Amino acid sequence: MYKLTCDYCFEDLFFDEIKDRPAICTNCNSPLSHVEITNAEDDSTNEDKQQILQIPDGIVLTYQKTNQTIDIPHNEIIILGRQNTGMEVFGDIPQISREHCKIELFNNQYVVTDLNSMNGTYLGSSRRNCLKHKKLVINENDLLHLGRETFVVMVKYRNADGDEASQLQAAEEEEIIERFKCKACGKIQEINLLICDNCGSYGQIEPLDE
């Protein structure tokens, strides 16, 4: 299987044979004749690992004019606007509509769509129109333009197996801790001493059976 990634909207397009190569992007209608073909099977393993290990867990918007931040916890659908998520910053910006744009999780990535806002929503330095091109993928440090107001987007992630991995690591660490006991005084310690530092007995330290 082969893959093309549109260099305008970053949509991934897959096809089985070279002759089936698409001429235009099905998402934004941009020409693809200059885009390099890659083998999708070669990078599928790494992509699968990344998707398994990292799951989007919210976003942080930084307003470029004031450096104010909006920390948005993960939700399947996030509505940005003066009367919705982010209203603590958006509320004083008349350029931004009450329901300006929608951010949602799609294929393990956040995507943005304009909600017919008065001044439009645009993504990236090239200002891709989020009404004309729906569900544009938000990448790390992308510029999100709500009208003329610009915000930098940071995507937060969590590890899908983070809790299990932590528990496994803790169990492994616990297993390698060996304890010892003095037969003379009964003191338990983590160091195998020749002379007990509690009672002074010689050669009485032995591994503790737990």
Q: What CATH number is given to the structural domain containing 102?
A: 2.60.200.20
pLDDT value of residue 67: 92
Burial string for 98-121 (b: 16+ CB within 10 Å, else e) reads: ebbbbbeeeeeebbbbbbebebbb
Predicted confidence (pLDDT) at residue 136 exceeds the cutoff of 60: yes
**Are 17 and 74 contained in the same domain?**
no
Cβ contacts of 66 within 8 Å, gap of 6 or more: none
Give the structural domain span for 41. 2-51
**Are 17 and 76 contained in the same domain?**
no
pLDDT value of residue 174: 47
Q: What is the DSSP annotation of 37-104?
A: PEEHHHHHHHHHHHHHHEEEEEEEEEETTT--EEEEE--SEEEESTTSBTHHHHTT-TTS-TT-EEEE
Domain count, the chain: 3
pLDDT value of residue 167: 45
Range scoring the smallest mean pLDDT among 33-42, 142-151, 161-170, 190-199:
161-170
Query: Rounded mean pLDDT of the chain?
Result: 82
Q: Is 69 part of any domain?
A: yes
**Are 65 and 110 contained in the same domain?**
yes
What are the tens digits of pLDDT across the range 28-54?
Answer: 788 888 888 887 665 544 555 454 457
Name the band, by pLDDT with cuts 50, 70 and 90, for residue 16.
confident
136-160 mean pLDDT: 91
14-41 mean pLDDT: 83
Q: Is 168 part of any domain?
A: no
Q: Is 148 part of any domain?
A: yes
**Are 59 and 129 contained in the same domain?**
yes
Q: Is 122 part of any domain?
A: yes
Selection from 27-31, 65-69, 206-210 with the highest mean pLDDT = 65-69
pLDDT value of residue 121: 97
**Are 110 and 136 contained in the same domain?**
yes
Q: Is 186 part of any domain?
A: yes
Distance set, CA 145 to CA 107, 139, 154, 190, 205 (Å): 23, 14, 14, 59, 70
| 23: three-class secondary structure by DSSP | coil
What are the tens digits of pLDDT across the range 69-106?
Answer: 999 999 989 999 999 999 999 999 999 999 999 999 98
Q: Is 191 part of any domain?
A: yes
Residue 175, H or E segment: helix 162-176
Asked whether 155 and 164 are in contact (CB, 8 A), the reply is no
pLDDT value of residue 68: 95
DSSP for residue 174: H
**Are 13 and 89 contained in the same domain?**
no
Q: Tokens representing 4?
A: 């093309």
Q: How far is residue 5's CA from residue 22's CA, in Å, rounded to a whole number?
A: 11
176-201 mean pLDDT: 74
